[in-house]
Amino acid sequence: MIAFMHEPLSVQITGGIHVNDAFIYDAWSQLPSEWTAWWESLSNPQDAQKDLINSLRKEPEARQHDLKGRPDSLLECLDREQLVLLEGIPHVEVPEILASRMVTKKLAEVKAGARYINHVCKTNNITRVVDIGSGQGYLSLTLAAACDLKVLAIDGSAKQIAGSKAAAEQAGLTEGDQITHLTRFVTGTDELATEVSTWAEGEKCLLTGLHACGSLSEHMIRLSTTTPCISHIAVVGCCYNHITPFSPSNITGFPISTFMRSHDLNLSTSALITGCQAPTNWIHNPNSIFGRKHFYRAVLEKLLFDKELVKQGAARPVWGIRNGDLLSFHTYTSRALSSLNLTIGKDISEREIAEYEKAYAGRSAETAILWTLSVLLCRVVESVIVLDRVFYLQEQGMEEVGVLPVFEYRESPRNLMVVGRKGEGV
């Protein structure tokens, strides 16, 4: 997996050349020529996009929809991608008063998560669970009400904790006994470890978090290794784009394991965003104008680059793109320039806008396919992140560390749960 992510093509499509910079660095020409020639032979670029996304599907019937004529080297690359990623295929009954508060997706996640956690607790004589990032308390209250476990629900939002407390009262749960709430912003500090240990009263605990955002999962993993009362861990991460990378000023950043760091495996911001995607769950819309946004942006970036109007890598103002902004390249350019405090006529002429639009006309297929390629490694990127956490736990002496696909991927794509058990004396 590490070797695969270090390959030039993997580096390129996970952020080496962002789709917005496709025309600046001629990203299309850097792809294998037999791939681009085949894609260019197709009548509609959406066919290529659908084919690439379909290659990620595991169902046997999905192969019936593969486009004929895929170059052998493309087939080999797609097959190798499937080989290096972690597999993500996966009954506690949630009380009605709690289930009524959850959407279908959340209910399925809580049922699956509670089922596994309850099994681990009952098997290992654990009666206490620490739920970090507990939010509205969906998992915490289910574990307390349906599984007869004592739960410490921790969240950084006082509003979320208030909502969870109200729901606990409705469910007849006693604060300070079956359920205890704690408002804390988790950063992996020793103070939280002390508070958890005090609450545990000498009993062993399982630490969990369903969809702990960004670096929160890493803070939880570190907490599990430094808090003696925590004997087991079961964490599902999400929002990988909020992970902070390792740097001299952030020595706890990704990757957190010595193994990954020793292999110089770093993920760009674009790659981390890729890890959040689930293209096989996307709904195909032949009338979507989404691709036009990437095409216009790439043409505009080339124009700005050539005229040296914007410094590469400099922070840009955030502006929401409306459908009306995509009616034409001129309309899009006008809106974008205004956000950059640039004007048509003074900084860029009407003639230049028309010339660039004409020069790149017919090349929208390139940005469409490049964008699809950029998300194609989504599950490989996620696998790298998850394995980094597994390696870290192993390096800290935790036993029986593994990865469990706890949710059905179609219902909840971020379904990889990192699980582990401490050995005696750890």
The reply to whether 403 and 334 lie within a common domain is no
pLDDT at 97: 64
Domain limits for position 132:
96-275+391-422
Which parts of the chain register pLDDT below 70?
Answer: 87-95, 97-98, 188-189, 313-314, 425-426
Residue 173 lies in a domain: yes
pLDDT at 426: 52
Instruction: Decide the pairing of beta strands 205-213 and 230-238.
Output: parallel
The reply to whether 298 and 156 lie within a common domain is no
The reply to whether 143 and 109 lie within a common domain is yes
The residues near 4 (Cβ < 8 Å, ≥ 6 apart) are 10, 80, 81, 84, 380
Phi-psi region of 338 (alpha: psi -120 to 50; beta: other; left: phi over 0): alpha
pLDDT at 109: 85
Residue 403 lies in a domain: yes
Residue 185 lies in a domain: yes
pLDDT at 56: 86
Residue 190 lies in a domain: yes
pLDDT at 101: 73
pLDDT at 16: 85
pLDDT at 287: 77
The candidate with the shortest Cα–Cα distance to 335, out of 352, 313, 317, 351, is 317
Q: What contacts 24+ positions apart, CB below 8 Å, involve 64-72?
A: 67/42, 69/38, 69/41, 70/38, 71/32, 71/34, 71/35, 71/38
pLDDT at 107: 80
